[in-house]
Chains A and B, each alone.
Chain A
């Protein structure tokens, strides 16, 4: 016989268990209809920076040169992260399930292998668009 732990939610409801057939208001509804439910984009942290990723426009191409000089000079840019800054990718799908060779780079090194592959990450004060210069 299963023991019912009635003490756990004692402060949230009376425990007569007569809930069936009654409408129950959702706990998050008031926040939703007043627009006060916080979503990911609504957080403002102190000293918060924004990261934007420059991605490959080509499905398969050699990276001959990545020119970040203009981005580095742009106002508000704190850091330009290149592939050499993150030599090991600790969060590939394969590494998370502890399986197989872990060869997917965080940022493309010498070649992009799909359209949209990350090449450079730019950390800046605001989310205004960083300039991009990527000769192929």
Chain B
């Protein structure tokens, strides 16, 4: 099968790969680029753990054809850390016990980042709305919501 060359920005770095027709972005990231931070959950857009940001907008990478991100910027959890330091959201998730098994955490963090990037001071309802596409099977939603609110208020207040 003929492969298509594909170039895009991955966490601020230019990458070039060859993809089979029909390859989804999740497979491209995990198997061709080796970024294991987006997780394979359901593979059909129901769980949200494969969520990534494409040009700053939240997308389900399992439902995104890899070729559609040509020339665009893809951000994953792997790029969230600021150098050696945790992103405020990561710090807040850790401090608020917002991860149990951790499998939904990559998607939750990307959904939370998409929210805070466009709305730095969200209400509780807006946080709930923002992570509504992400399923946490440990059902630890409350600490996750609290963590996002804590990160939004600079880690001070607890909603």
Q: Which residues of A contact B (CB under 8 A)?
A: 25-26, 28-39, 41-42, 128
Contacts and interface: CB of A to CB of B under 8 A. Distances in A.
A99 B73 CA distance: 58
B105 A33 contact: yes
Contact of A34 (B20, B77, B103): B77
B105 A39 contact: no
Nearest to A30: B94
Interface of B: 20, 36-40, 76-78, 80-81, 86, 90-91, 93-94, 97, 99, 102-103, 105-106, 109
A25 to B, nearest CB: 7
Contacts, number: 45
Contacts of A128: 20
Question: Which 3 interchain pairs have the tightest Cβ spacing?
Answer: A35-B37, A32-B102, A35-B77
B99 A32 contact: yes
Given A33-B91, A35-B38, 14 more contacts: A25-B94, A30-B94, A33-B105, A33-B109, A34-B90, A35-B76, A35-B77, A35-B105, A35-B106, A38-B36, A39-B39, A39-B103, A41-B39, A41-B40
A35 B94 contact: no
Nearest to A75: B1
Contacts of A36: 37
Contacts of A38: 36
A25 B36 CA distance: 24
A42 B94 contact: no
Contact of B78 (A29, A30, A35): A35
10 contacts: A32-B99, A32-B105, A33-B94, A33-B109, A34-B77, A34-B80, A34-B90, A35-B78, A35-B106, A39-B39
